[in-house]
Amino acid sequence: MRVLFLVALLLSVMSPAAVADDGWSVVPSGGGRPSFYAEGAPGAVLQDTVSVRNPAAEPVRVRLGGGSWVVFARGGAPARTVSVEVPARTRAEVPFTVNIPAGATPGDHTDTLTARSPDGRSATVRLRLRVGGPEVPALTVEHVAVHGERISYDLVNRGTTTLTPSLAVRAEGLFGRRVLDRAPRTLPVDLRPGSRVRLSEPWPDPPALDAVDVRLTVTAGGGARDSGSVPVRFVPWGAVTGGAGGAGVVGAFLVVRRRRRRRRRGQGALVAEPPRTEVESTGAVT
């Protein structure tokens, strides 16, 4: 078994111990660590110890558990969970291992160790893991769609590093008229390697009559960049049902739209593929 040294997180403000409502707590052993931090290559086995503290006058029993990479030793056999009874005014030291799969994606991963007592109370400690290997920032923008006054889309982290993406939104109507132009802004998400998130962008004032190409461009640190687009037609159907005049306006609109699309194809423009609906497994650790 190859054991790598687990180092403490260097934080400007140290987080308090995870404390349940009844006073017992769970913390990394050794003191001074607000959470666990481990580094290792794919296939490595890392060791550490969690401390369950019981300052009360009565003993307490808690069940410890972690994610798919965390294993406890119970009766000499590995187990995903373990039950521990902690006497009054003392603590129990519980060793565990983090078994990084041989095919684990390099980059940052997160997990938690959770302790629960029979009455339903719980406390958790965060576990951060860095798997060795080349750091490759990459992402894709997928399934762009416009529904009413919102633009929805998927972001997928295709690389090996956690990304904080920024989004820019543009939309061009007929004859290249800009109908929406939003400068890049940082999104409130941290996209872990292999993870997918569904997001939406408000568009409270879309045009009443236009043929629009909506384009989303997403960037992140390390040079990660991708864009996705979707064509949208805005037609005032009330005008269509209101008489021949309205129908003539819509007819002219559609003729211009078809000419524009033929011109773009002749210039070798990309044609948007229909959105995919399958669920994708990207190997994220949860």
Domains annotated for the chain, with CATH where assigned, are 18-131 (2.60.40.10), 139-235 (2.60.40.10)
Other C-beta atoms closer than 10 Å to the C-beta of 115 total 24
pLDDT of residue 282: 34
- Residue 75 phi/psi, 5-degree rounding, is 65, 30
pLDDT of residue 19: 56
pLDDT of residue 262: 52
pLDDT of residue 83: 93
pLDDT of residue 55: 94
Say how far apart CA 206 and CA 180 lie, in whole Å. Answer: 8
Averages of pLDDT over runs of 10 residues in the chain (286 residues) are: 34 44 82 87 93 93 92 80 94 93 84 91 91 89 95 94 94 92 96 92 92 96 95 77 51 50 43 35 30
Say how far apart CA 138 and CA 159 lie, in whole Å. Answer: 4
Beta-carbon contacts of 238 under 8 Å, excluding residues fewer than 6 positions away, are 246
pLDDT of residue 106: 85
pLDDT of residue 22: 55
Say how far apart CA 170 and CA 234 lie, in whole Å. Answer: 16
pTM (2 d.p.): 0.54
